[in-house]
Amino acid sequence: MKTALLIALLASAPAGASKFDDVESSSKIPAWLKVSGLVDGRAYTAGREDSWLRQGTGRLRYGGSNGHDAARLSLSQASLVLDADLWSKASFHLHTNLTTDPPADHSPIGIFEAFLQADRKYYGTGVRARAGALMPLLSWEHPDGAWSTRYTLTPSAIGSWVGEDVRVFGVEAVAERPIVKPVVGRFTFGTFIGGDQIGRLLWYRSWALHDYQADIAARYSTPNGTIRPFSEIDGRAGYYVRGDVDILEQLAQVGAGYWTNNGHNGQGRGAGGPVALPGPPVPGPGLPGPNLIGADAEAYRTEVQHIGAKAEWKRLTVITQTMKVTIQRANGGPIDWSDAFLLASYQWKKWRASARYDRFWATNLDYGFAWTLFGAYDFDVRNQLAAEWVYLSARPGEPVFPRSQVDRLFQINYRLRF
């Protein structure tokens, strides 16, 4: 409804408008405000396991019902993005999402990002600062508006986890300058509060592939408790750094970074000092068990190391990224969750075809892979029809979790950008 109103507003022009008028400039939206967004409508058929988002055991966005395959329609994402120029070099960015498939017991509408941004050049060095609720720069697969994917519908396990479980409340600065022509270097530093339970979702479920975007009040109800990834519990600020090098801008990019919530293990339950966490951890729906690591009100020290690269040559784009998420335990040592993917995408005129292979593993807990095949036709830059097939196979580590799992999803998506 909101989107329909917005489109009507965008299309409206004053009565008696001339054919020589710039209709967008003469609409009722003031020049200092840019309105954009997208609507994704989806038809899908999915395997028997219902999605973890609805407390099932499936690791994809959609799943079956009561042990049977399902075919359904979904408004997977409707995004409204506002960018308001506050003064010449500063702006405010607000991104809100609506979906008919939110996590169990969570609102279908929420704020994805909201921040102030300023950018300018100082002696050849571009500087950008952001402050507010931010998505840190971790994913290589979301280059388009409304943090949307370009190469597939479903991002890799890394991009999926970033979308569902990572957001920061803080400040970030990026500096960029040419090193040697045609090489440009870029450095990012950010510090934040919140995020003391980021990573706990991995412990509960391990890696998954989906395009659900959490809002800044994200909350995941599980049979074993509620996960609030962005809560601040121990009062310690986290930080992240990232370095990037671009060669000929789009020809090749390489970037690596480190992120930590700097969490104080187990702190926050009231009585001071860390508490011993139960171990070994027993994840949830994908790997059913009686326990969920820790408790709802505890902080976890989570660290992320990542490196990625992207190359574009003629019509071919290749992206690869690997990430290791380490969660420290008060006893038993750290657990690592790792994923690596390789994506190739080819665009020919209005057609795009992509294939991606994901391989993921967690220390003594989980091991699996996923294939994603994607094809799309762009009617124009605003309208796209796409089809995607996702196959995920996971084999939780024996002997604790002897059950292997296969998830399948085929989906057809119509995306309207505005």
Identify the residue whose tokens are 């601040």.
232
Sequence-ordered strand ranges (E) for 212-299: 220-222, 225-227, 238-247, 252-260
Q: Is 120 in the site for other proteins (CB under 8 A)?
A: yes
Identified binder of other proteins from the candidate list 7, 127, 311, 342, rule CB under 8 A: 127
The pair of structure tokens assigned to 414 is 């119509």
Query: At its nearest, how many Å lie between other proteins and the CB of residue 152?
Result: 16
Q: Is 176 in the site for other proteins (CB under 8 A)?
A: yes
Q: What is the dihedral of CA 27, 30, 33, 34, to 10 degrees?
A: 20
Q: Is 140 in the site for other proteins (CB under 8 A)?
A: yes
Query: At its nearest, how many Å lie between other proteins and the CB of residue 183?
Result: 13
The stretch near other proteins (CB under 8 A) out of 93-101, 125-133, 162-170, 266-274 is 125-133
41 vs 126, which CB is nearer to other proteins?
126
Q: Is 21 in the site for other proteins (CB under 8 A)?
A: yes
Identified binder of other proteins from the candidate list 171, 312, 371, 389, rule CB under 8 A: 312
Q: Is 179 in the site for other proteins (CB under 8 A)?
A: no
How far from 64 is each of 13, 43, 70, CA to CA, in Å?
46, 13, 5
Q: Work out whether strand 168-180 and strand 183-193 pair parallel, antiparallel, or are unpaired.
A: antiparallel
Cα separation of 330 and 333, whole Å?
Answer: 7
Cα separation of 162 and 199, whole Å?
Answer: 10
Identified binder of other proteins from the candidate list 184, 233, 340, 394, rule CB under 8 A: 184
Longest dimension (CA), the chain: 75
Binding mask 229-268 for other proteins (x = CB under 8 A): ---------------x-x-xxxx-----------------
User: Residue 59 in contact with residue 208, Cβ under 8 Å?
Assistant: yes
Cα separation of 69 and 51, whole Å?
Answer: 12
Query: At its nearest, how many Å lie between other proteins and the CB of residue 109?
Result: 26
Query: At its nearest, how many Å lie between other proteins and the CB of residue 349?
Result: 6
- H/E segment holding residue 232: none
Cα separation of 92 and 94, whole Å?
Answer: 7
Identified binder of other proteins from the candidate list 2, 71, 182, 273, rule CB under 8 A: 182
Q: Is 186 in the site for other proteins (CB under 8 A)?
A: yes
The stretch near other proteins (CB under 8 A) out of 52-60, 102-110, 310-318, 360-368 is 310-318
Cα separation of 296 and 288, whole Å?
Answer: 18
Cα separation of 322 and 336, whole Å?
Answer: 13
| Cα angle: 278, vertex 197, 166; to 5 degrees | 140
Query: At its nearest, how many Å lie between other proteins and the CB of residue 3?
Result: 17
Q: Is 17 in the site for other proteins (CB under 8 A)?
A: yes
Residues between 29 and 58 with contacts to other proteins, criterion CB under 8 A = 31
Look at residues 323, 346, 332, 322 and name the one whose alpha carbon lies nearest to residue 300: 332
Binding mask 359-398 for other proteins (x = CB under 8 A): -------------------x-xxx----------------
The pair of structure tokens assigned to 353 is 């075809």
Site residues (vs other proteins, CB under 8 A): 14, 16-26, 31, 119-121, 126-128, 137, 140, 143, 174-176, 182, 184, 186, 244, 246, 248-251, 312, 314-315, 347, 349-350, 378, 380-382
